[in-house]
């Protein structure tokens, strides 16, 4: 969930609780206020009636007034001691004029006249229907709640989107950022202190990543370059020993051959690392139009002769000519490593198929062992299985070449076959 939507969600339920509490409090306050006003009015009427009775005035026992206004009844002293002298209640009274019951507020007050007799005065007045009041308040609160909630959320969403623009810009910059690539400058002006600190922190981390990447490239390049001479000397001395085989035993010759084989692998690994370093350093500026169809067919024939002992079948199908503008050496390295990967890691007696379209190069091979780890197959020195002749750098070279020229390479495992496809942009 996006940050803005998460904030709006929390704001929504907090506002819902607050508005619900406000509606309940408003209803209780309004009901209490109405009851207080009604009670004051009933108290005034009761006081007037009691004063007239105590003053010896003549009043009727009942007084109709659109409903019953009051009742005056004589009660016993025991009744007066049993009940409170002033009691309020909400009751339903029958109104003959309307032939219906209506809600009323009732005050029952006990008092004693000059002769010591006890009377109960019942004063009442029609009041509002609480059910109607609750329904009216409920609907008004619902509409008010919806209006306020929608308005607040809309305003909050607009404000949050506006305030979050620097963060979104920073995220877009991070998505487009590539270590060692041609990245745009991080220029995101913002008055918010936290966003400025975040931008500064990202710039510092980017600078450290670039410095570390440069040191890594220099180390690999320098180490590979410096290792060439000692490796060449070792191989030459071993060859000199083999040439003078008269003083060596067969066991010694076998050991020398094993060492030569190991040195050969080390030399190839050194050349591959040096190639990767040169690619990362952009040391292949020359570009030309490369006929990928002819290059694929020529390389496929060479690879087939090399790996014929594995009994694999090779087919090349070109549906359209594919011509790209790139460094010819890197184009050869791209095609050679894709085909070598298919021959080395494909199943023996299986098939290798190459499909060429106008903007796509696709290489597939049998793989009964199952799919590879798509998140690591282009990492350097990653090998799902140990295979003779594999350095674990072939696909890393392919990925580096694709990254250099903005090509897109993807891997898929379909119907028991590994598929590597390189998509070339239309402007290539």
- Confidence (pLDDT) at 80: 85
- Phi, psi of 333, deg, nearest 5: -65, -40
What pLDDT is attached to residue 39?
A: 80
- The per-residue pLDDT for 93 is 73
Q: Find the length of the chain.
A: 428
Domain 288-423 coded CATH 3.20.20.70: no
Angle at 194 between CA 191 and CA 197, to 5 degrees: 95
338 alpha-carbon distance from chain centroid: 35
- Give domain limits for the chain: 3-151, 194-280, 288-423
Q: Could you state, in chain order, the average pLDDT of each consecutive group of 10 residues for the chain (428 residues)?
A: 69 77 77 77 83 69 53 84 86 68 82 84 75 69 78 80 81 80 78 83 86 75 70 75 70 77 72 69 74 88 81 85 85 87 83 88 83 74 60 79 84 86 76
Is the pTM higher than 0.85?
no
Is 64 in contact with 91 (CB distance < 8 Å)? no
State how beta strands 360-366 and 351-357 pair: antiparallel
Identical topology for domains 194-280 and 288-423: no
Residue 167: per-residue pLDDT: 81
Strands (E) located in 36-85: 62-64, 68-75
- Dihedral pair phi/psi, residue 90, rounded to 5°: -105, 125
CATH number of 194-280: 1.10.287
């Amino acid at each position: 969930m996006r940050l803005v939507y998460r904030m709006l969600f929390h704001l929504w339920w907090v506002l819902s609780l607050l508005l619900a509490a406000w509606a309940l409090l408003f209803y209780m306050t309004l009901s209490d206020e109405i009851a207080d006003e009604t009670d004051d009015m009933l108290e005034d009427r009761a006081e007037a009636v009691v004063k007239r009775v105590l003053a010896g005035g003549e009043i009727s026992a009942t007084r109709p007034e659109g409903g019953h206004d009051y009742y005056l009844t004589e009660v016993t002293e025991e009744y007066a001691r049993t009940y409170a002298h002033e009691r309020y209640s909400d009751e339903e009274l029958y109104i003959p004029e309307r032939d219906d019951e209506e809600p009323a507020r009732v005050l029952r007050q006990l008092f004693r006249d000059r002769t010591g007799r006890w009377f109960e005065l019942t004063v009442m007045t029609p009041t509002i229907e609480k059910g109607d009041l609750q329904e009216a308040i409920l609907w008004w609160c619902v509409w008010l709640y919806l209006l306020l909630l929608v308005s607040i959320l809309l305003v909050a969403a607009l404000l949050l989107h506006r305030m979050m623009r620097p963060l979104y810009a920073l995220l877009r910059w991070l998505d487009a950022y590539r270590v060692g690539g041609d990245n745009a400058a991080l220029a995101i002006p913002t008055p918010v202190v936290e966003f400025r600190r975040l931008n500064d922190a990202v710039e510092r981390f980017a600078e450290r990543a670039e410095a570390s990447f440069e040191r890594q490239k220099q180390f690999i390049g320098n180490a590979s370059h410096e290792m060439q001479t000692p490796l060449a000397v070792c191989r030459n001395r071993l060859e000199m020993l083999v040439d003078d085989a008269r003083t060596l035993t067969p066991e010694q010759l076998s050991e020398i051959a094993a060492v030569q084989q190991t040195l050969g692998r080390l030399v190839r690994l050194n050349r591959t690392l040096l190639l990767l370093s040169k690619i990362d350093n952009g040391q292949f500026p020359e570009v030309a139009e490369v006929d990928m169809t002819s290059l694929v067919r020529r390389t496929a024939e060479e690879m087939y002769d090399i790996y014929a002992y594995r009994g694999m079948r090779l087919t090349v199908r070109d549906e359209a000519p594919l011509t790209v503008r790139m460094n010819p050496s890197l184009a050869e390295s791209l095609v050679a490593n894709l085909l070598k990967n298919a021959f080395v890691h494909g199943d023996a007696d299986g098939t290798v198929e190459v499909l060429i379209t106008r903007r796509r190069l696709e290489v597939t091979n049998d793989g009964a062992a199952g799919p590879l780890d798509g998140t690591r197959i282009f990492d350097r020195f990653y090998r799902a299985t140990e295979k003779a002749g594999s350095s674990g750098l072939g696909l890393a070279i392919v990925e580096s070449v694709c990254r250099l020229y903005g090509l897109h390479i993807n891997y898929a495992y379909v119907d028991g076959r590994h598929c590597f496809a390189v998509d070339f942009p239309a402007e290539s």
